[in-house]
């Protein structure tokens, strides 16, 4: 067994002045740090902080964002919401006229009036355009977070990796393009401006449609039972002519990927006090990454969120990215070294003996997506 070397000098303090650089905390806060010389030794001037926020209730909140000297997006686009309301109103006029024959016209008429009123007024409700700026309102599920008393400070890993990504998907626009081409071609033919190319295109489009319909009809009729398989007339025609319809694929933006972060730490305590700090740190991460039972265990509250900050000499390091509150998605703990026998400290009492080394690996996912505005703010 190994023994704690109480007489060992503090790591990294030889030849350096002591610096107290941990951020000031409010009364009742509990600081857990590793190593003990964090914020004091010169090589530990850079470190990370983890503040914990637990759920304390939910509500519907409306936030107002004022932008002075700018024009509301809806106003810039020429009354988008009003135009959308007019379009919906036209569509519902047809629906309600048809619905009267089914004796449900009153319900549709009421629906039409509500949608038209709400949509036409959406621009005024969401964006109040003025000569000096606008106020934008956002209503959503608000979560009241309460800061927990525990704060954790750990040494900086050798590097910090952050990722920024967006999701795009291919969307098939061939049906839309084909319909528009057909309508345009028919219009030109009706005015006498048709050409052999237009006629050929319309005929090809129609022929492919009939071939698809024919294949579906033969499949429904069970022709495949007699031929040994379904007959795809369209595929046969394409193979014989060596000509297929242009897929008209457009790469469409769908969403922003949430940033994820991974941090790994190696712990090698040099005193019983540092061992206690390490085990408290590990317990806090495990505890707040898990949900909490409520209502006698019939429900569970969401786990806590972690606000991660990078410090240098007690101040936020602005050369590293800001991070929104994160969910802790993984806590991996390794007790003992990677090779050789399992070595523990020789300690008095009957509580057992702690291993001489531990490793902690954490994974986090940011709870908020980023836009250009957040990038400008330092995220």
pLDDT per position as a tens digit, 288-333: 999 999 888 899 999 999 999 999 998 999 999 999 999 999 999 9
The pLDDT value given to residue 97? 54
Domain locations along the chain: 30-62+139-170+256-376, 76-126, 177-247
More confident residue, 345 or 192: 345
**pLDDT over 50 (residue 230):** yes
Highest average pLDDT, of 18-32, 92-106, 236-250, 333-347, comes from 333-347
Give the predicted TM-score (pTM) of the model: 0.62
112 vs 28, more confident: 28
C-beta separation of 197 from 206 below 8 A: no
Whether the Cβ atoms of residue 112 and residue 89 lie closer than 8 Å to each other? yes
The span from the CA of 338 to the CA of 167, in Å, is 38
- Long-range CB contact pairs, 81-87, < 8 A, 24+: 81/119, 81/120, 81/121, 81/122, 81/123, 81/126, 82/119, 82/120, 82/123, 84/119, 84/122, 85/115, 85/116, 85/118, 85/119, 85/120, 85/122, 86/120
Cis amide prior to 193 (ω within 30 degrees): no
User: DSSP label at 308?
Assistant: E
Let me know the angle formed at the C-alpha of 41 by 36 and 45, rounded to the nearest 5 degrees: 100
């Amino acid at each position: 067994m190994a023994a704690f070397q109480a007489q060992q000098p503090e790591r990294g303090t030889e030849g350096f002045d002591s610096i107290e650089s941990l951020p000031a905390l409010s009364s009742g806060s509990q600081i857990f740090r590793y190593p003990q010389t964090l914020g004091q030794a010169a090589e530990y001037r850079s470190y990370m902080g983890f503040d914990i926020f637990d759920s304390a209730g939910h509500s519907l909140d409306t936030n107002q964002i004022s932008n002075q000297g700018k024009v509301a997006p809806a106003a810039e686009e020429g009354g988008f919401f009003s135009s959308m309301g007019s379009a919906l109103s036209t569509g519902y006029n047809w629906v309600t006229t048809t619905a009267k024959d089914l004796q449900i016209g009153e319900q549709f008429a009421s629906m039409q009036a509500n949608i038209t009123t709400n949509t036409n007024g959406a621009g005024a409700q969401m964006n109040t355009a003025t000569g000096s700026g606008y106020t934008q309102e956002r209503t959503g599920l608000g979560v009241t977070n309460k800061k927990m008393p525990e704060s954790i400070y750990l040494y900086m890993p050798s590097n910090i990796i952050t990722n920024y990504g967006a999701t795009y998907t291919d969307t098939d626009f061939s049906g839309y393009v084909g319909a528009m081409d057909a309508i345009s071609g028919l219009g030109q033919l009706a005015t006498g401006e048709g050409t052999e190319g237009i006629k050929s295109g319309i005929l090809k489009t129609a022929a492919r449609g009939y071939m698809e319909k024919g294949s579906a009809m033969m499949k429904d009729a069970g022709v495949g039972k007699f031929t040994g398989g379904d007959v795809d007339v369209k595929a046969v025609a394409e193979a014989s002519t060596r000509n297929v319809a242009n897929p008209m694929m457009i790469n469409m933006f769908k969403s922003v990927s949430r940033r994820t972060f991974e941090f790994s730490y190696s712990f090698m305590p040099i005193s019983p006090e540092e061992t206690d700090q390490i085990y408290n740190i590990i317990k806090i991460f495990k505890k707040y990454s898990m949900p909490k039972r409520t209502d006698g265990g019939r429900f569970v509250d969401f786990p806590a969120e972690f606000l991660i900050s990078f410090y240098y000499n007690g101040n936020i390091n602005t050369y590293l990215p800001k991070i929104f509150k994160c969910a802790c998605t993984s806590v991996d703990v390794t007790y003992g070294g990677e090779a050789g026998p399992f070595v523990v400290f020789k300690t008095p009492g009957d509580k057992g003996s702690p291993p001489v080394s531990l490793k902690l690996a954490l994974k986090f996912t940011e709870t908020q997506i980023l836009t250009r505005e957040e990038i400008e703010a330092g995220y």
